[in-house]
Each structure stands twice: as C-alpha cells, then as structure tokens.
Amino acid sequence: MTDLPAWSIFALSAFGGYFLGSIPFGVLTTRMAGINIRDIGSGNIGATNVLRTGRKDLALITFLGDTGKGAAAVGLAWFLLLGLDQPTRQAGMALAGGGAFLGHLYPVWLKFKGGKGVATFIGTLFAAAWPLGLIASVTWLLTAFIFRISSLSALVAAALIAPLGLLFDQPYPFLVMAIFMSVLIYRRHNENIRRLLKGEEPKIGQKKKAES
C-alpha cells in the first residue's frame, strides 16, 4: 500500500474506514436478543437507545462495538501506512477515522439511516490522538453527571473538542477530523437540540416516545 500514489492511499483509507464504521452493532446485538431497536424509543441504533430496552449488557456491547470500530479504522490505517512520512500517515488516519464516523451515521446496509455517532466519535479520537479522546470523554462525563442528558453531553463535547485541541497543540489532520465529526454530530442532533430548547429532552435511562 505504501507504493501507491497519495490519492489512492487517501481513498482507500476513507472507504475502508467507512465500511468498517458502517457495521451496525446496535442492530446486530439487539436482533440476536429478539429485539427490533427501530421500535424502541427514538429508533436510534446507538447505545443510549439500546439502554432503553432495559438490557444494560446489550447497551455496553453496542457502546464497545461503536467505539471500537472507530478506533480500529484509525489503528488499521496507522499500521498500513507505517512506511510513509508522518504528515501523510496522519492524513490517512484522519480520513479513515472520518470515514468510520460517516459510516456509522450513514451505513449503506441500513439505507443510510444510522446512529448519531457519539461513541464512534470518542473511539476515533482516542485512537488518533489520545488527548482529544480524553478531552471528549471527560467533557461528556462531567456534563452527563451534572445534567443527566446524553445529547447535551455530546453537544458540549463536540463544541469544545476543536478549541481545546488547538490549545493542547494537537496535529492538524486530527483537528480537521474532529471538526468534521463535530459538525455532523450537531447535524444529527437537530431534533435533540429542539427538545433541549423546549426543556423536553429525556434524561439518561428515561424512556421516551418514538420520534416522529
């Protein structure tokens, strides 16, 4: 792979990351338990909605799977691009991570109707640059501890990741990847933002009606 032209390396990183990220762990784990996650709560395939089934074990498996696939995409790109210069390698890793995130949000297997990407966001950041992953995780946990609202925690973490990444002088390709994912997180949380403004967003573990 290191003998390929740069555009081929970047394309393979992005598409490889996409197909890895499109594995729908929330759908697969709940289906094995005889549950259709699309009929639960918001119908989302992420760990937060899986938790609304009452099965914490399935929610944990979903979270680990969604986190792990983002990390795996970045790690695989890092391994395959070891022979290249650092800027090219970092760009390939960022494209693989961004591709995995895009795959989770818009998986081809589910007619491009996937999750909201928070777990994959965190896993991808940890694998690419652990300080970014730590920033996102701590921000999410602190916000969740105070407000007990998963979507708000994700939105705060997404908003802070780029400025804090700049503050801690993280590599440029990973900052671009983080901004890309953050913008998509806000795009995928449109309905959550509306409910937050109305004071109607459910708290973590609270059951909710399916979204229209």
Q: Indicate if the pLDDT at residue 160 is higher than 60.
A: yes
Domain contains 210: no
For 91, the domain range is 6-198
Q: Is residue 1 part of a domain?
A: no
Q: How many angstroms separate the CA atoms of 164 and 112, rounded?
A: 31
Report residue 167 as tokens.
């503050």
Q: Kindly state the tokens that stand for 65.
A: 């799977």
* Three-class DSSP category at 195: helix
DSSP string of 61-100, one letter each residue: HHHHHHHHHHHHHHHHHHHHTTTS-HHHHHHHHHHHHHHH
Summarize pLDDT for 170-210 with one digit per residue, the tens: 999 999 999 999 999 999 999 999 999 999 998 876 655 44
Please tell me the predicted confidence (pLDDT) of residue 79.
93
> What is the number of structural domains in the chain?
1
Q: Is 203 inside a domain boundary? A: no
With respect to residue 95, please indicate whether it lies within any of the assigned structural domains: yes
Q: Which pLDDT score is estimated for 206?
A: 63
Residue type, position 42, single letter:
S
Dump pLDDT digits (tens) for 47-98.
Answer: 989 998 999 999 999 999 999 999 999 999 999 999 899 999 999 999 999 9
> Residue 67: inside a domain, yes or no?
yes
pTM for the full model?
0.92
Does 155 reside within a domain?
A: yes
